[in-house]
Amino acid sequence: MSTFAVSEEKNRWLKDKMESLNIREEDILEKFIRSSGKGGQKVNKTSTCVYIKHIPTGIEVKCMKDRSQSINRFLARRELIERIERLSGKLTNEDIKRLKAKKQKQKRQKRAVLKYKTPAENIASQAEGDIVNSNEDKSKT
């Protein structure tokens, strides 16, 4: 596997991840396409956009996030890995971040509800193990 214009650590991570998912370089069809967007004549002359296709799964990735072809090659392979992980049912980095944000939001909501309860209500709700909405308490009185 060739190295890309990223840190040695990232190159190692990519290689290990591809090996763990049984993705071989021979199974990847890679093409370089002219990018689009800002850049004028330079963009029209250089092929920095990377198109890769994983032949066994048929997954196609097109990447033109950076001006460097080498970095786009790395980013395209990283995107390919994430898509294959998603197909296999494994948690991707995006899934982990989403779950973490959901957990933090639930924690904030719990704290907000507890903040506006009286101390007696806090003790009672903690003993029960659930949170009672303060709106429900007001409607009962």
Supply the pTM of this predicted model.
0.65
CATH number at residue 38: 3.30.160.20
Q: Mean pLDDT in each 10-residue stretch from start to end of the chain (141 residues)? A: 83 91 92 85 86 94 91 94 87 84 92 77 64 51 51
Q: How far apart are CA 86 and CA 25, in angstroms?
A: 20
Range of the domain at 112: 94-140
Asked if 80 and 23 sit in the same domain, the reply is yes
Residue 46 counted as domain residue: yes
- 24-54 in b/e form (b: 16+ CB < 10 A) is eeeebeeeeeebeeeeeeebeeeebbbbbbb
Residue 2 counted as domain residue: no
- Ordered strands of the 59-63 beta sheet: 28-33, 49-54, 59-63
Asked if 65 and 122 sit in the same domain, the reply is no
Asked if 121 and 107 sit in the same domain, the reply is yes
Asked if 113 and 73 sit in the same domain, the reply is no
